[in-house]
Chain A
Amino acid sequence: QKEVEQNSGPLSVPEGAIASLNCTYSDRVSQSFFWYRQYSGKSPELIMSIYSNGDKEDGRFTAQLNKASQYVSLLIRDSQPSDSATYLCAVNSGGGGNKLTFGTGTQLKVEL
């Protein structure tokens, strides 16, 4: 069974620190990887997508992908209280179709 695993947290970091969120996946043929942010009571919001090994930076966010290790991470630099949310990792396993498999999410708390 294809799985995406995340630590549920909560992960607590002080304001201004780097938050590191991690995700592992089981399907070796996975091709596309996504990070969603979900505030309490709101819908998931796409914040990063990554398709090839290495780093991808967008503002304070960096996604890192290592297909050999089946590992994808999200770094948030200069964490702000407004970053406090649940972060969902999602993986498309290819084979045709746009179906994503979601992890259960990591709750991030940025403390003043």
Chain B
Amino acid sequence: DAGVIQSPRHEVTEMGQEVTLRCKPISGHNSLFWYRQTMMRGLELLIYFNNNVPIDDSGMPEDRFSAKMPNASFSTLKIQPSEPRDSAVYFCASSSDNYNEQFFGPGTRLTVL
């Protein structure tokens, strides 16, 4: 079975540009999580969805960040406009309601110049 799929794997953009990160969760999983990881702050939960509905977005740093999950197999995290301090690795993870085990995708390394 395919694991969590993320794209792109690397993104380099200039300050002020819009960035869209994509995630496909594991088939059958109904919870999806977006994390950000930096050396300074570690792994931070940005937002999570259950059955395509946003449940907790308290970790979204500011209005420049938005996330959507239009269906059970796809989610996006958008940053508009991007800033250099957004540079980090962004992970998507998914889990099922039966277990709390989360499985991570390979991540997107974002660099904002």
Residues of A within 8 A of B31 (CB): 97-98
Whether the pair A32, B100 counts as a contact (CB closer than 8 A) is yes
Contact B42 A102 (CB under 8 A): yes
Q: How large is the interface on B (under 10, 10 to 19, 20 to 34, 35 or more residues)?
A: 20 to 34
Interface hit among B67-75, B78-86, B103-111: B103-111
Q: Is the interface of B mostly helix, strand, loop or mixed?
A: strand
Residues of B within 8 A of A90 (CB): 102
Q: Is the CB of B103 within 8 A of A46?
A: yes
Tell me whether B102 and A98 are in contact (CB under 8 A): yes
Q: Which residues in A have their C-beta under 8 angstroms from that of B45?
A: 99-100, 102
User: In the complex, which residues of chain A have a beta carbon less than 8 angstroms from the beta carbon of B103?
Assistant: 46
A46 touches B101 (CB 8 A): yes
Task: Flag if B102 contacts A43 (CB, 8 Å).
Answer: no
Cβ contact within 8 Å between B102 and A100: yes
CB of B91 within 8 Å of the partner chain: yes
Q: Which residues of B contact A (CB under 8 A)?
A: 31, 33, 42-43, 45, 48, 50, 55-56, 91, 95, 97, 99-107
Residue numbers of A with Cβ under 8 A of B are 31-32, 34, 36, 42-46, 49, 88, 90, 92, 97-100, 102, 104-105
